Chain A
Amino acid sequence: MKNDRSGRVLDIFLTFLKFGCFTFGGGWSIIAQIQKEYVGKKHWITDEELLDFTSVGRSVPGLMIGNTSVLFGYQTGGVPGALAALFGVALPPFFIMIAVTFIYSLVKDNAYVDRAMMGVRAAVVPIIISALIKLFKSGMKDLFCYLIAIGALALSLFTPINNVLIVVLGAAAGLIYMEVKERHAVS
């Protein structure tokens, strides 16, 4: 049994190292990879379990990829499994990013790189806009959501209030609003 468990943990670590090299474009890519490897090929978990990991992973703070990895790792290999999945998925991007940062610092002031980066920076706002459009569809449910979003926009742009605090305020507003709404529904 113990042997079986350590074999699993090693399997998780090596597989998540591989996932870590190929997760582009946010949380959904890792779910697709887990699905293929562990639901399809190895039958360690079911689709329903994966769906649970996804929804819980998104509803707790932190990196969605990291959270999903921890949830999967814990369910299949306990705490060692969770650590194996998290560090497996995090190590490749960590080392790749160190190399990239090194190269960036070297070539940043080169005239050609500077021109290319002008173009790249011009694309950053459209990239954020396209992400915002997707979030808009899932996050804006009623008038309350619009008021909160406009409030956050104003606080963030026109006051020196830290964004961390704005998130905390948003959480409090959500708790109070839903509490009031549920009480009204009961009475």
Chain B
Amino acid sequence: MLYLELFLSFLMIGFTSFGGMSMIPLINDQMLSHGWMTSQEVADIVAIAEMTPGPMGLNCATFAGSRTAGILGAASASLGVITPSLTVCLLAAMFLTRFKENRLMGNALYGIRPVCIGMIAAIIVQQARTNYAGTLLGISWQAILIGMIALVLLVRFQWNVPKTILVSAILGLLLGR
């Protein structure tokens, strides 16, 4: 049952992710192992989720769900990804004062944060293999050039992501074959 699979997949993604970009490696894993998306589509989803309003994880869930199983699929995946907010976080809200001083969660996060960093570094390697692949010596020189321009815009000039994506799209139109 595809709806249930989508729900459970995004439930797992939700419960093991701690905001924003740290979701991408988990989503990538689930999408590729179920054959729901290609690595290239994962790149598209990251860019699209950055360009549209709303939480990254929810945008990815809606995209993946609706690509694989229509609107009901989108609803199943989205419900899965918001379930942690509806359960664990609601409990934390009810016991806010006690939760604030909870030592164990902080200790667990001490290990989770570096794991997220390691996984995100891994996804960079995997995504680079897909997005910069081309015909000349196996590399797309246009893509490399655009990537370097985007990196300078983001890191050196502190451009925001949507603006950088827009410029990259225009460069793609001009340089692409």
Instruction: Write the residues of chain A forming the contact surface with B, with a CB cutoff of 8 angstroms.
Output: 20-27, 52, 55-67, 69-71, 74-75, 79, 82-83, 86, 89-90, 92-94, 96-98, 100-102, 104-105, 112, 114-133, 135-136, 138-141, 144-146, 148-157, 162-164, 166-175, 177-179
Contacts and interface: CB of A to CB of B under 8 A. Distances in A.
Contact of B56 (A26, A56, A177): A26
Given A25-B160, A97-B74, A120-B172, 12 more contacts: A23-B54, A71-B96, A86-B86, A118-B146, A119-B170, A129-B151, A152-B116, A152-B118, A163-B16, A170-B115, A173-B111, A175-B111
A118 B140 contact: yes
What secondary structure prevails in chain B residues at the interface with A? helix
Nearest to B91: A60
Contact of A56 (B96, B115, B119): B96
Interface of B: 12-22, 24-26, 28-29, 33, 40, 43-44, 46-48, 50, 52-59, 62-63, 66-67, 71, 74-75, 78, 81-86, 88-90, 92-94, 96, 99-100, 104-128, 130-132, 140, 142-144, 146-148, 150-151, 154-155, 160-162, 164-165, 168-173, 175-177
B94 to A, nearest CB: 7
Contacts of B106: 59, 178
B14, B22, B53 — which one has the most chain A CB atoms within 10 A of its CB?
B53
A137 to B, nearest CB: 10
Nearest to B81: A63
B154 to A, nearest CB: 4
A41 B170 CA distance: 41
B86 A148 contact: no
Closest 5 CB pairs of A and B: A119-B172, A174-B111, A93-B54, A152-B118, A62-B84
Nearest to B144: A122
A154 B115 CA distance: 11
B131 to A, nearest CB: 4
